Structure 1
Amino acid sequence: MNLDLLIDNLKNPALLFFILGIIAVRLKSDLAIPENSSKFISLYLLFAIGFKGGQELAHSEFSMEIIYCIIFGLSTAVLIPIITFFILKKKLSVSNAGAIAAAYGSVSAVTFVTAISFLELQDITFNGHMVAVMALMEAPAIIVGVVLIRMFSSKKETDASQSLGSIIKHSFTNGSVLLILGSLVIGFLASDEQALGIKPFTNDLFKGFLAIFLLDMGIVCGKKLKDFLKNGAFTTVFAIVVPLINGIIFACLSGFFTQNIGDRFMLAVLAASASYIAVPAAMKIAVPKANPGIFIPMALAITFPVNITIGMPIYMFVIMSC
């Protein structure tokens, strides 16, 4: 691996603010981002990503490569939860195995945002349709996770009042999914002149808001990490090893679908990331017996920092080598 690439990523201000958040918790500081401000920043980041992606998509020439990337992304969101479910089921209950599998088959918009920053440091571009791929990967993993739980549960661990149709609807109407898809469409429809009017908001402020958001994520991770580590080594090892394996495998496989380095990197990051927003919201409705104290810290406090520190340089190294 290129050591300079790893060092550059570790010196990224956004990542350093994330680490500052963890340090603040360890020092028992009263540093905190107000909940309403944190929610606004989350919405802003999703809006900016979606809008910019729509603009890039509008300037992209439609090709089969776009279709291939979407198919690859959807296949990833189906395969990963199926494979990981059977690994997890050996140690955990069916409900928890299904919820964790759904989280790791789904994607993290925040990891995607950080990946954009990583690519910018390397002066590597990616295509706007990757935003659509990310948004479309949220729902399939949730659906697969719920179906697996219902197939293998010996007890009534799911909420019988929730039909599969309602779960699918919830997946697509989840606020984060709806906002990024809606922003993508709006960005696609907006003319260059119209987009220029809000460019200072969608572009110039992006990195600053990202840094503040990652500071907040660091604080959240620092609070959850200690309690999570009490659950044992299996989930901790899983949260570190499985995402790295997924990222490496799909970094290689992505070469069969596109030769764009930025797109391949994004596909690898999406395969390696885990959802801690959309999936917990869906599982709370569909599988109330699944323990969020396990799968949320796995995704947020373990997998997320692993991906943004050592994962991304590894995926880029693999892509450059394949």
Structure 2
Amino acid sequence: METFADGFGRRFRYLRVSVTEVCNFRCVYCLPNGYQKSGPRSFMTPLEIERLGRVFSARGVRKFRLTGGEPTVRRDLAEIIGRLSDLSNVDKVALTTNGWNLARNIATWADAGLTHLNVSVDSLEPAVFAKITGHDRLAAVLEGVDRALTLGLAGVKLNAVLQRDSVGTGFDRFAEYVRERPVAVRFIELMRTGDNAGFFQDQHVPGERLVTWLTARGWTPKARAGDDGPAIEYVHPDHRGRLGLIAPYAPGFCDGCNRLRVTAAGKLRLCLFGQDGVDLRDLLQNGDSAALEARIESALALKPRGHRLAEDRFGDTRNLAQLGG
């Protein structure tokens, strides 16, 4: 069968699957007051995630990324990884985590089939990291990253949200960090959501600031793979690792969109900054693969050409933990 496609001819080979909305960090740009349970929780089971993955992998998705919230709060995370990695034609099973339990559990996840790892590290300065996340755990998180590098994962990356209070000498610190480590550090433009209006106004830094810094120091853009996310990565002959930028406010950002999202509650999100979503949960629970495939196919006809963040329109996205980023 052909790869899932939308009305603009974009084909989707990458699915982000949120497994929980719960997070144990209190990042200032997302959940400054911590996770607040607002009602009964019912997140997809490992079997439902496997059924979801089976339909998408049959239609050309080769890469799955598990997100949250913080996906590692789920005790069955290794089982979820294993179920997806066992699907035919799946090349990559990735995880995005804040690194809380990384050093302790990364070997288990790798044994289950994890191939790629992204760790959120917004600053390499301990005091700034603690201020941003609400936890003084930078050393433990970086220990987990180093542990991951010894296991031979196909890719290890760090994510850092660009913020006015943390950029400072941050670019220099991260550049030094990747001098001898084969790690990609991607800086992500702070995005406006329903809950962060004041913070966004005070802290947003345009991605061009990083591009100017990189260009002035001899970093050059790296060629992209077909299932890469939206980051543009830069390389330098004196550094084993890479630095990159995810710039959702840049013109044409959505033109090459190759990914879809499913929330922890089983809703297909056609855009991170859209409205509501298409509920797949009933079909995931009863295992009707044909009906699930048909519902996804029908929904993709409604996918918009792009988000409207530049117009300060962010849909019903209260925070990124709600949908998995």
For normalisation by structure 1, the TM-score amounts to: 0.26
**Normalized per residue, which structure has more strand?**
2
**Normalized per residue, which structure has more helix?**
1
Return the structure number with greater relative CO, CA threshold 8 A, min gap 6. Answer: 1
